[in-house]
Amino acid sequence: MLQLYVLPLLVLSVCAADNRLVYRDNDKPAFCHKLDCPKYSLLTTGEGFEVRQYEAAKYSSTLVSAMDYKKASYKGFMKLFDYIQGDNEQGVEVAMAAPVAVKVEPGQGPACESNYTVNFFVPFADQDSPPVPKDSTVFITPMPAFTAYVSSFPGYIFSGATWTKHAVELADALTASNITNFEKSYYYTAGYDSPATLFGRHNEIWMIQV
């Protein structure tokens, strides 16, 4: 059982695989808004979720332990924003990419802090050699290729509870579809839009296949 402390909410079912190539070259998904974003192939679709194979890539990252998702993600975002604005050993700016992906490791209980690792995708021009962070709490994460179960949903998210709700829905959907080979101790949130974007927003939950 995914440790999210929220009741099950939704049941979905799996459809047939189509092995459709979605994004590996220059055909960026519309929700990336022409920004660089991780390349993936769509392996299978379900009723309300997809199974994606992501290529290996680097991310700039920082870990924040806190009780509140919103405060933790903002603190982590600002550290990484400073990094791409030139707070690095080379003193260079790094282009913004998408998404802002947050690895959420829920605490052991509702009164415990959770761990939030905030990640910026490193743009393709810097993938081979990202600038070295000056801030000791910012680091580069070389993420190997992985398969993820992904649910997508619109809207402006005002609290961590909304992310949790959608994570529980995805976990329940996978379990109801007899899919059990996903990581249950953490999940990722992925946001693709600027805070100034009020409409047409795209959000995702990633659960990693194991």
Least confident of 43-47, 52-56, 57-61, 128-132: 43-47
Whether residue 94 has pLDDT greater than 70: yes
Q: Are 64 and 100 in contact (CB under 8 A)?
A: no
Query: Residue 89's closest CA among 122, 46, 136?
Result: 136
Share of the chain above pLDDT 90, in %: 84
For 81, residues 6+ apart whose C-beta sits below 8 A from its C-beta are none
- b/e burial code for range 33-64 (CB count within 10 A of at least 16 → b): eeebbbbbbbbbebebbbbbbbeebbbbbbbb
Per the model's pLDDT, the better-predicted residue between 91 and 8 turns out to be 91
Model pTM? Answer: 0.89
Q: pLDDT tens for residues 54-80?
A: 999 999 999 999 999 999 999 999 999
